[in-house]
Structure 1
Amino acid sequence: MRRILLLAPALVLFAGCSPAAQVPGTPQPSPSSASSSAGLPPDPQPARTAECPYLSEAQAEDANGQHVTEVKVSDDQPHPACFFYRPDGGLQLTVRVYVGESATATALVDKAAPVDTSNPASEPAGWKGGYQPSDDGVVYAVAKGPAAVIVSSNQKQSIKARTVAKEAISALKL
């Protein structure tokens, strides 16, 4: 018994150095899913107070149904993301615009509103994507060619996020 107690720390040490064994039935991440999310641009972050180039405060208030007290934008250029805040300081609405590679635009939309779990979205005409509830409200994400627009709202009604997406798309000069 005493020998086992003396050897136990050595066995634990050696066990930590050995390669991890594959547990039968445990799926390994597929190379395609790992590389597709790794190749996406990082999520935008609010960097400074500024006007949103795609949506005015009044449009955001009308569409989302809440007063806007502050608007911040990300440092992403030439298409910054917009962050609209409500009176209590909480985030109520975000508008993310991406223009670049078609595959990346589609992947960003699929990340925000996965094809397998979201409802299909096809507004405005020619744009495709999805919408679904999120932890904090709803997301509406669509792409067309090399462009993607992703709107997150703290409201549960998808029509509000869809309205914002349509307003932002109409303001884009593509």
Structure 2
Amino acid sequence: MRRLVVLGAAAAALLAGCSTGTQTPGPAPSTASSGQAPSSAVLPPDPKPAAAGPCPYLDTDFVARANGQHVGEVRLSADEPHPACFFYRPDGDVQLTVRVYVGDPEVATGLVDKAAPVDTSNPTEQPAGWTGGYESTGDGAVYAVAKEGKAVIVTTNQQQSVKARTVATQAISGLGI
């Protein structure tokens, strides 16, 4: 839905630019209808791995099966109460990360839109009640969704976004959010 609004606004702007008559510019699209991060929302920095340990909301064996790679190590960010989880391959490269945010709804939406930009990603509404986007990237895929001030963002080194979606759905269930 949010992409339709953005595309509709862009088409209207293009048509207005082609008009020969004088027009008074209308109001800028609101952040609520465009899906873009509001300018007042200050996004927190990207999480960094700080310590080794098990992910509190995802089982390592589940991640290995869902992403299709063995997990050599798991590291956590220092974020509280929900640390980001970094899953590494046995060779030391990151294979999958899960970032969780709970707080300001504008920040949650901004984080999702930063990870899966409206202009390039495919819209999603899974699991039920969550909205966001997913896309393949040069390094793998991302699946990012938000709901009422909560955001879950999964990046994987695999090109199939279904793997990231599977992990995001399980993380949401494990977090109980």
TM-score band by shorter chain is: 0.7 to 0.9
For residues 95-152 of structure 1, what are the alpha-carbon distances to aligned partners after superposition, in whole Å with 9 as ceiling and x for unaligned? 0000001110000000000112100111101100000112210000000011000000
Please tell me whether the aligned partners of residues 41 and 110 of structure 2 are also in contact (alpha carbons under 8 angstroms). no
Distance (Å, rounded) in 2 between the aligned partners of 1:166 and 1:60: 12
User: 2: CA distance between counterparts of 1:34 and 1:169?
Assistant: 22
Q: Is the 8 A contact 2:41 2:107 kept in 1?
A: no
Matched, 1:166 2:160: no
Q: Is the 8 A contact 2:141 2:155 kept in 1?
A: yes
- Residue 97 of structure 1 is matched in structure 2 by 100
State the alpha-carbon separation in 2 of the partners of residues 82 and 120 from structure 1: 24
| Equivalence for 1:79 | 82
| CA spacing shift, 1:34–1:155, aligned 2, 3 Å | closer
Contact 1:36 1:107 in 2 (8 A): no
State the shift of 1:157 in Å: 0.4
- The alpha carbon displacement at 1:35 in A equals 7.6
For residues 37 and 65 of structure 1, what CA distance do their matches in structure 2 show?
Answer: 39
Tell me which residue corresponds to 1:144. 147
**Partner SS for 2:171:** helix
**Is residue 118 from structure 1 mapped to residue 126 from structure 2 by the alignment?**
no
| Alpha-carbon distance in 2 for matches of 1:47, 1:143 | 25
Q: What is the total number of aligned residue pairs between the two structures?
A: 143
Q: What's the offset of the Cα at 1:34? A: 9.8
Shift of 1:173: 2.8
Cα distance change, pair 91–111 in 1 and its aligned pair in 2 (3 A): same
SS in 1 for 2:61: helix
Gaps of 5+ in 1: 1-31
Q: Runs of at least 4 residues of structure 1 off by over 3 A?
A: 32-38
Say yes or no: does 1:40 pair with 2:43.
Answer: yes
The structure with more radius of gyration:
1
Residue ranges of structure 2 left out of the alignment (5+ in a row): 1-30
Counterpart CA distance in 2 for 1:118 and 1:169 is: 21
